[in-house]
Structure 1
Amino acid sequence: HQDNPVKQATRFGEDAALVGAPETNFSTINTSTGKNTGFAVYGQGTYSITSKFDVIAGLRFDTEKKSLSVLGEYQKDPDPDPVFETRPDTSASANFTAFSPKLGIAYKANNHTNLFLTYSRGFRTGGLTPLAQGGDPSQPPLYPFDPEYSDNIELGIKNTFLRNMLRINLSFFASRITDAQIPTLILPDAVTITRNAGKLSTKGAELEIAANVVKGLEIDYSLGITDAVYKDLKISSNGSEEDLSGNRQIFTPGSTSMLAMQYSTVPFKVAVPFSIVVRGEWQRIGKQYFDLANNISQPSYNLVNAKAGFSSKNYELMFWWRNIGGKKYIAYAYDFGAVHLGNPETLGVTISA
């Protein structure tokens, strides 16, 4: 169960005309109260056909009820009280259920190598979204959007070598998503709406390598490559339909990789044993897009992080240094051009128990 009350004001100043607002120096206030209640049941079993072949089958059941109430108000500066309602206080609810199967086979080539092939059906629940009315009271304040479904296939191999000191895993995946849920920020209403607007195709590969080089020293490397393209994407833009089929999925880097080295040692025996831990990380994030038209993007960039400290069974003290060198990069961006930069070079300490 989740309660999600939100009250948000967007102020338009002297330059409000740049986003199409009809006047200046005013605020729009959007208040929404959402409630989600749901549960899921999942079961999976494995049947061994032979000592080397296994068949895997699973089934998941999801059900969820969503309710949402919205209220829109107009406030003229410098009056502290809203002048009138732009969207009446309206409530709506919707129910969603789905059965999601999983099937797979696994083959044990030897004691160190396993291969697998799986198919699974994915489900992302639908919901309720406010519509940007643009002053037209004939439009419904709330509109339900459908669930998003995916068909997923994964083929992989898992290996261990050198008495489990070296692990190498490799997998390939492909996914087809229908009724893709597309969020869009609408101005000047400053409302994010969600619609089922297309089909998405994703394919890629993942590599994981983990090695215990010497006692206390671990080296991990991971690489992910993703090719995610909207096969069918049509959205409304300025009163007409815009075909964005073939564009890249938003917020999805083409590649991600990380190399981490960590060394831990017990310096000496004491009443409360503890370890000294030193860790360094290098990350590379590939190019990604932040708008459906693929006009706003962040090229590939690198991040370097480090931490060192003490760790025991019940306590941990870590000094950390993130984004060493202060790389500037876009972490998030909006359709109209505003961006959020990633966190700058930061030093800190964390104590956990």
Structure 2
Amino acid sequence: MSSSKHFSLQPIAAAIGLSMISVAASAQSADAPAGLEEITVTAQKRAQNMQEVPVAVTAFGSDDLEQAGVETIADLERISPNTQLRASRATNTTLTAYIRGIGQNDPLWGFEPGVGLYIDDVYFARPQGAMLDVYDIERIEVLRGPQGSLYGKNTIGGAIKYVTKRMSGDAEMDLGVSVGSYNQRDITAAGKLPLIEDKLYVGATVASFNRDGFGTNNYTGAENYNKDITAARVSMEFTPTEELFIRLAADKTEDDSNNRHGSRLTTSLQTGEAPQDPFDSSAGAGDKQKVENTGTNLTVEWALSDNITVKSVSAWREGSTEGFIDFDGTQVNTFDAPVMYEDDQFTQELQFNYTNDRLALVGGFFYMDGYAAGAFDVIAGAALGGPAQEPQNAIAPTFVAATEGTADTESRAVYLQANYDLTDKATLTLGGRYTKDEKSATVYKARLFTDGSAGGASALFGGGDLLVLGVQSDFEEGGDWSKFNPKVGIDYQINDDTMVYASYAEGFKSGGINMRADVSASPAGFSHVFEPEDAASFELGLKTEMLDNRVRMNAAVFSTDYENVQITQTALIGTNFVPVVATDNVQSINGVELEVTAALTDSLTAVANMGYADASWDKFLDGAGMDVSDDRSVSNVPELSGMVGFTYETTMAGGSLILGGNLSYTDEIAMEVAVPNQPIDEDSYTLANVDVTWYSADEHWSVGLHGKNLTDEAYRVAGYNFPAFLGDDEILGFYGAPRTFTASVSYKF
């Protein structure tokens, strides 16, 4: 998808970034601008100035997110270095998250994410429903690098912390409406009511996010890439004394958007259909999708003294997904799959904080009881789907490969981290976490057959005319793992404005059981359990504020050894080809990150970030046990990415007008682990965005106008790549949003 504008915008972006720093450095005049505001984060599970935290962390407050037109956490990708946050293939709300080249590309139950997502300190265990819309927000923090000591397993790439607003002050109602391209129509309503002044509050937020499709399913006529999401959050906060805070909250999200169907990149061998426009498809598997996610949590914080605080976070979450995947993108059932997922989890964390003049301790206990299940049928044949899921008569027999299973996880962990001031300038960090994971799973896999008498769709999840040709797997298996993840670091405060730090941190992503296992093709005693991933990272960092705090620059250099990388592939076992999860794989990831914010004048602020990641395979064993590391791509890791932008604030109509714009660049990126230069891989691309926000003087009104992807760049964010499979080339692309404009109005009263 390359074009000449990639090469013209990239040097411009680089020039803007360099000139921004040089202009700031020369801005020492009598009318020098005020310093930058302090940013508070909880990256180390206690409130700190971001510039004093020896962790690579980027934070965005509610105003920052509003002014940048951030609608979902996917928008954070362009404003956080070495971060990829994208909707998974064929979905709106399943999250594919990578930080510093580590994440999860397979959302199947039984697999774990590599980036931890936390909503008000509650761990979000599954990627389904994790593509969060941003509303009722206080701030979002993006932590990069292994966070194993404080945040535990499955944070080996990093962690994302989504923090909602606490209630205070008088009764308030906030109404917001957004309209825009593709008939976008979003409505949010948030309110809070003090039942006992300054002590007991109740609050609620309701949101509806709707948009027509960017494209069309040309076979069924349904919208493709549309959005139909409703969400609600209710909470009660009680502060009976200055020392005690209690919050009870519940939330629910329903996504009734259509399945996202990918567009073909090659001509179909079955139908002769040529490649489609990026957002169009001719899929016949089905358009209807349903995703639900609900949760309840109770948080209790108690300050036992000026030095000691204890905190309890209890939470329950539940999710379900029903949908379809059409791998061939045609009306013929060459390779289709109805899918179902469900999950629930209970988590409990007990945490304590202790501080004195020289020592800060954070420790606690974490428990999780999680359940995930799913089922999918791979339908292969010549049966036709039909408009609005009304199947036509099949024209040939249909073969079905049915897979279903469950995965139960019980996890316990204890952790402790200490920051000790060796001197007035040097602080030593020592931390560690011990985790015990236990998993059990059931796996069922069978070959089925239907004569087509009731139509191709009768094959979905046990239709009435199915015949079991052979059971490939029907077993229960389990595994357990114990891990200790240490962290050691030292930071040195060169002066009041500059800190340098060095750290070593480890993390792991849990192992599991292969849900695609084929016992019938495996020798007796062959294990289907795969081992955890491990990451160990060295990091050097600099955090500084210069020119009377008018320029903030944070930089980090890291080197990560990434071992036991879990890769699903086909292996030759005896004389059979069997799907396995291979873990005899090792990566090296080395990189650099730079973030700069400069108050050039009282009105003009410039921002820039850059991420560089050099990722390579040190060892990669193919299905025959050969090391092919020199001939395999590393997925979801652009070598270079970055953003430059500005905000300009002035007065208008008695209020404050903020103008903003940015260019974000993403280098070439491989979508999957494969031989390099696959059709679904994406060339480099640049996105241009502009934002205008106006606030009334009384702070009741705000009006925004946001334009995204102004050059209407077509860029792939995911894909399926099955060449010469089942009589066709199933090579599909999924794309980021086209050019859009959104106008928003909100009123607080």
Alignment partner of 1:342 is 2:724: no
State the 1:263 CA deviation: 4.1
State the 1:307 CA deviation: 3.7
> 1:293 is matched by which residue type in structure 2?
V
Higher relative contact order (CA 8 A, sep 6+): 2
Query: Which of the numbers 18, 23, 35 marks the counterpart of 2:408?
Result: 35
Provide the TM-score with structure 1 as the length reference.
0.82
Aligned-residue RMSD, C-alpha? 3.3
Query: Which of the numbers 484, 493, 496 marks the counterpart of 1:111?
Result: 496
After superposition, the Cα gap between the structure-2 partners of 1:160 and 1:194, relative to the gap in structure 1 and judged at 3 Å, is same
The answer to which structure has the higher strand fraction is 1
Q: Is the 8 A contact 1:321 1:345 kept in 2?
A: no
- Secondary structure of residue in 1 paired with 2:713: coil
- Secondary structure of residue in 2 paired with 1:87: strand
User: Partner of 1:76 in structure 2?
Assistant: 450
After superposition, the Cα gap between the structure-2 partners of 1:308 and 1:183, relative to the gap in structure 1 and judged at 3 Å, is farther
- Secondary structure of residue in 2 paired with 1:163: coil
Once residues 13 and 315 of structure 1 are traced to their aligned partners in structure 2, the CA distance between those partners, rounded to angstroms, is 58
After superposition, the Cα gap between the structure-2 partners of 1:229 and 1:265, relative to the gap in structure 1 and judged at 3 Å, is same
Alignment partner of 1:298 is 2:685: no
User: Partner of 2:641 in structure 1?
Assistant: 256
User: Partner of 1:199 in structure 2?
Assistant: 586
Alignment partner of 1:60 is 2:433: yes
Q: Is the 8 A contact 2:500 2:542 kept in 1?
A: yes
After superposition, the Cα gap between the structure-2 partners of 1:53 and 1:254, relative to the gap in structure 1 and judged at 3 Å, is same
Alignment of 1:150-299 (within 5 A): 150-184=535-569, 193-215=580-602, 217-236=604-623, 240-246=624-630, 247-263=632-648, 267=652, 276-289=657-670, 290-296=672-678, 297-299=681-683
- Secondary structure of residue in 2 paired with 1:235: coil
> 1:129 is matched by which residue type in structure 2?
N
State the 1:278 CA deviation: 4.0
User: Partner of 1:323 in structure 2?
Assistant: 709
Q: Is the 8 A contact 1:211 1:218 kept in 2?
A: yes
Q: Which moved more, 1:120-129 or 1:29-38?
A: 29-38
After superposition, the Cα gap between the structure-2 partners of 1:32 and 1:54, relative to the gap in structure 1 and judged at 3 Å, is same
- Secondary structure of residue in 1 paired with 2:665: strand
Q: Is the 8 A contact 2:397 2:451 kept in 1?
A: no
Q: Which moved more, 1:198-207 or 1:341-350?
A: 341-350
State the 1:221 CA deviation: 0.8
Gaps of 5+ in 2: 1-344, 346-369, 384-395, 572-577, 724-730
State the 1:316 CA deviation: 7.0
Q: How big is each residue's C-alpha offset from its partner over 1:167-221, in whole Å with a ceiling of 9 and x where there is no partner?
A: 11221111112222223379xxxx9752202111111111111112333543221
Q: How big is each residue's C-alpha offset from its partner over 1:264-323, in whole Å with a ceiling of 9 and x where there is no partner?
A: 567567xxxx86554323211112222332242322111223344456989976554333
Q: Which moved more, 1:41-50 or 1:224-233?
A: 41-50
The answer to which structure has the higher helix fraction is 2
User: Partner of 1:20 in structure 2?
Assistant: none
Provide the TM-score with structure 2 as the length reference.
0.41
Gaps of 5+ in 1: 16-22
Once residues 378 and 617 of structure 2 are traced to their aligned partners in structure 1, the CA distance between those partners, rounded to angstroms, is 31
> 1:322 is matched by which residue type in structure 2?
K
Once residues 125 and 306 of structure 1 are traced to their aligned partners in structure 2, the CA distance between those partners, rounded to angstroms, is 41
Q: Which moved more, 1:328-337 or 1:101-110?
A: 328-337
Q: How big is each residue's C-alpha offset from its partner over 1:118-146, in whole Å with a ceiling of 9 and x where there is no partner?
A: 11122121111134429537567971111
User: Partner of 2:224 in structure 1?
Assistant: none
Once residues 422 and 487 of structure 2 are traced to their aligned partners in structure 1, the CA distance between those partners, rounded to angstroms, is 18
Alignment partner of 1:8 is 2:382: no
After superposition, the Cα gap between the structure-2 partners of 1:278 and 1:12, relative to the gap in structure 1 and judged at 3 Å, is farther
Q: Is the 8 A contact 2:638 2:666 kept in 1?
A: yes
After superposition, the Cα gap between the structure-2 partners of 1:264 and 1:64, relative to the gap in structure 1 and judged at 3 Å, is farther
Once residues 58 and 209 of structure 1 are traced to their aligned partners in structure 2, the CA distance between those partners, rounded to angstroms, is 29
Q: Is the 8 A contact 2:716 2:736 kept in 1?
A: no
Once residues 687 and 629 of structure 2 are traced to their aligned partners in structure 1, the CA distance between those partners, rounded to angstroms, is 32
Percent sequence identity over aligned pairs? 22
How many residues matched?
336
> 2:450 is matched by which residue type in structure 1?
K
Query: Which of the numbers 481, 492, 497 marks the counterpart of 1:96?
Result: 481
Once residues 709 and 439 of structure 2 are traced to their aligned partners in structure 1, the CA distance between those partners, rounded to angstroms, is 39
State the 1:13 CA deviation: 2.9
Q: Is the 8 A contact 1:27 1:77 kept in 2?
A: no
Q: Which moved more, 1:122-131 or 1:157-166?
A: 122-131
Q: Is the 8 A contact 2:414 2:434 kept in 1?
A: yes
